Structure 1
Amino acid sequence: MNVEDIEALLGPAGQELLEEVRDLGPEDELAAATRLRKRYEPGLVAAAMAQGRLRQRAAAKFGPDAARMYFTPNGVEQATRRAVAEHRAARFAALGARRVLDLCGGIGGDALALARAGIAVVAVDRDPLTVAVARANAISLGLADLIEVRRADVMQTQTAGYDAVFADPARRTGRGRTFDPEAYEPPLSWALAAARTAPYAAVKVAPGIPHEAVPQDAEAEWVSDHGDVKEAALWFGTAPGAKGATLLPSGARLTAAVPPPAPPIRPVGRFLYEPDGAVVRAHLVAAVAEELGGGLIDASIAYVTADEARPTAYATPYEITDVLPFGLKRLKALLRERGVGVLTVKKRGSAVEPEEVRRRVRPQGPHRATVFLTRVAGAPSMLIGQPLTGS
């Protein structure tokens, strides 16, 4: 796909074609392509069908908007999920930002969210196809009045005159994903320097960023969506030194200016709480344990246990019925005795894979159970229970 393809798809014939291929499944593509090539240019048909496939893939990130948006293969993979982009845009709006510079803007996922929050955006990217797609998205979603897309080298872009800067350096190179921040494109050190030139800024980084790599003048925020950690961002001009976890879609937020004291290690109680991944990444499991009046089952395992059930937005609660030494034969016998046919396997601190457990124990029966493969006070263990009713 190239810039000319995007321009053609924006024309009347391209729009007709995109509508025709909108709901095509893989099994229908060959017949549809043969039929459509009798009425349209073959190159336009190929571009429309490729775009249709990308739109279907992007629906998980962008919801209904995906059916009207334009994508590149890399754009689908690297664009910010809509819910996360909207959360970040809401933070910028709450800070009073009215004009934001979006560096490494990509296909425009963050620019769209910022514009919907009433913020004027200048989005910069150096790739001509990506720029064309971002412009098409701004037009298609009726946000072109608030989004200006520029093709330029972000490292040569002036940051003066903006209320805030957002930078999203590419974490993929020609050889795949990179875990070296200085191999980002552009390097993370450059992005941080650019961020410090604005009153407010956010720099998107990999969720696995070590805490020791977080600058002292930055606030680090980890964001999850429906329990899956999606990203981390370093904020400037907000709360230097703070670590936070934001859980979407609820918007629940847990922050700490200093690391909370380590919780006690204690025997497994009646209830087990599985902290959200963003809470774990932010090193705030201790704060959850304190909220629940509980402790950890092991010094290195992020499971909180307590004797009482308490509501929390930051962890999923389970009622535990059995605490056993690890052993798949024992687990198989117990599940068969209880008629468990639907088994959810969770693990922290265990080398055994859930698929291997299901293959070995072969659950059968009408009942459900959850088994946690983990360590209790250093010993490999199995905790069996159920999600807490009403949680």
Structure 2
Amino acid sequence: MEQAELTALLTPKGLRLLDETDAAESSSDVAAAVSRLRSAGHSPDLVSAVIGQARLRAKARAKFGTFADRMLFTRAGLEQATRLEVAARHAGRFRDAGVTRVADLGCGIGGDALGIAGIGLDVLAVDADEITAALAAYNLAPFGGAVEVRCSRAEDVDLDGVDAVWLDPARRSAGHSETARVGADEWSPSLDWVFALAARMPAGIKLGPAFDRDRVPAGMEAQWISVDGSTIELVVWSGVLARPGVGRAALVIRGGAAHELTAAADAPDAEVRELAVDGYLHEPEGAVIRARLIGEVARDLQAGMLAEGIAYLTSEAALTSPFVQTFRVREVLPLKVPAINAALASNGIGTIEIKKRGVDVDPAQFRRKLRLRGDASATLILTRVGPKSAARRVAILADRV
């Protein structure tokens, strides 16, 4: 969003026009809406801003629900924003630690600040970009004096009177539309500054889930989070926000229900176990894998590793866990197309889900080689089994439990 578009939009006329404009999903819808608004005499800047916001509001409902219908966004800001249900859980940790005023340094469009203010805490929301800060101020306006928004660099903010900080250091280039990734050490503010601040006062630091875990400072809690099958972030907690005795945590949210696995440190993997036909295969959630807590889940499920270094578990017992997706094994086949096609034909399978770990196979290309005919469906898991000295490639035909 450009400054001229923001200026045109942040007026009673502009905001009223946005609320009256339906979401434009297709290119033809956009063209028709632009033509209609321009014919009504609205300026190009206002039309561009209104149509852009209408599209972003529609996309934002996945993260913000009905709150999205009164918020303003940039494309980059929406992409990077924390989902409201996750932000609310982060906010609860601040509240439970006795924090009353939080500085959100790098607030973006205000997603995390929304969660913090929503449970009654005071927030100082800061962003270095003028347009982004203006949108955050609009999104957080319903909270009145409980929220203060500033346009400033995080490093320049006076934290006197603040109990704790929330930081989302930028991992991408500046801009409102595109989000090109930057180099490993190109963070704003720098990670050295961020971690030094977290060592001085309670902090929550939002990072990408693939962040190098060896860079997490000793003594801080590392919490990986998965939502509906996607691993979305790593949060590093310090001070009173870090739970005693917890060094690693995997928070799994699916369908609104939350489950968490915690440990003092990485858990050792379980032993490799033979995969039995009519047994069960378990795929750990991404947060569990990132937190290296697969061994904890394996022991709970009375399961073993399918192979060394492969994040699949196998068990004979029909146990399930919120930390895995479970499959009942039908057949274990050699990873060869003719053998797989014969099994698909004999089972009348016309719909197949393909998953893979530890084998150099492109699932999309592999699917083209399969003969799928029939009304039945199944999952095909391409992987390795057995100890490293005798590992073999297999295709496992299975059903979701």
Matches within 5 A, 1:128-207: 128-139=130-141, 142-173=142-173, 176-178=180-182, 180=184, 182-198=185-201, 200-207=202-209
Q: Give secondary structure in 1 for the equivalent of 2:169.
A: coil
Q: What is the letter of the counterpart of residue 354 of structure 2? A: V
Q: Does 1:244 align with 2:249?
A: yes
Tell me if structure 1 keeps the 8 A contact 2:344–2:371. no
- SS of 2:257's equivalent in the other structure is coil
Could you tell me whether the CA contact under 8 Å between 2:33 and 2:51 is conserved in 1?
no
User: 2:400 is matched with which residue?
Assistant: 387
The equivalent position to 1:66 in structure 2, one of 68, 77, 101, is: 68
Which SS does the other structure have where 1:165 is aligned? strand
Q: Which blocks of at least 5 consecutive residues in structure 2 are unaligned?
A: none
Matches for 1:1-391 after TM superposition, within 5 Å: 1-26=1-26, 27-37=28-38, 38-139=40-141, 142-173=142-173, 176-178=180-182, 180=184, 182-198=185-201, 200-237=202-239, 238-239=242-243, 242-248=247-253, 249-269=256-276, 270-377=279-386, 378-388=391-401
Q: Following the alignment from structure 1 to structure 2, what is the Cα–Cα distance between the partners of residues 4 and 144?
A: 26
Task: Provide the rounded CA distance (Å) in 1 between the counterparts of 2:4 and 2:64.
Answer: 24
Closer, same or farther: CA 24–212 of 1 in aligned 2, 3 Å? closer
Distance 1:94 1:6 in 2: 38
- Once residues 302 and 69 of structure 1 are traced to their aligned partners in structure 2, the CA distance between those partners, rounded to angstroms, is 40
Separation in structure 1 between the aligned mates of residue 270 and residue 301 of structure 2, nearest angstrom: 11
Shift of 1:3: 4.1
Q: Using the TM superposition, name which of 265-274 and 143-152 deviates more.
A: 143-152
* SS of residue paired to 1:202: strand
- The Cα shift of 1:11 comes to 2.4
Aligned residues of 1:245 and 1:253 also touching (Cα < 8 A) = yes
Matched AA of 1:216: A
Q: CA deviation at 1:60?
A: 2.2
Give how far 1:176 is off. Answer: 2.4
Worse-matched range after superposition: 362-371 or 57-66: 57-66
Alpha-carbon displacement from aligned partner over 1:290-341 (angstroms, at most 9, x marks no partner): 0011100101111111110113111111110111221122111210221101
Question: C-alpha separation between the residues in 2 aligned to 1:100 and 1:3?
Answer: 29
> In the aligned structure 2, how far is the partner of 1:213 from the partner of 1:66?
35
Give the 3-state SS of the residue equivalent to 1:302 in structure 2. Answer: strand
Question: Letter of the aligned partner of 2:268 in structure 1?
Answer: P
| 8 Å contact kept, 1:271–1:318 | yes
In 1, Cα distance between equivalents of 2:51 and 2:170? 27
Give the distance between the partners of 2:11 and 2:339, measured in 1 at CA. Answer: 65
Structure 1 residue 179: deviation in Å? 5.2
| CA 1:205–1:321: 2 relative to 1, 3 Å | same
* Contact 1:54–1:71, Cα closer than 8 Å, also in 2: yes
Q: How far is the alpha carbon of 1:49 from its aligned partner?
A: 0.8
Partners of 2:331 and 2:131 lie apart in 1 by 57
Identity of aligned residues (%): 38
CA RMSD of aligned residues (A): 1.7
Cα distance in 1, alignment partners of residues 180 and 381 from structure 2: 33
Deviations 1:118-174 (A, max 9, x none): 1111011111000100011112xx223322111111111123322211110000126
For the residues of structure 2 that align with 1:354 and 1:115, how far apart are their CA atoms?
44
Determine the C-alpha separation between the residues in 1 that align with 2:302 and 2:32. Answer: 62
CA contact (8 A) 1:3 1:128 kept: no
| C-alpha separation in 1, matches of 2:308 and 2:143 | 50
CA distance in 1, matches of 2:238, 2:378: 45
Contact 2:219 2:247 in 1 (8 A): no
Counterpart-to-counterpart distance in 2, 1:145 and 1:347: 52
SS of residue matched to 1:361: coil
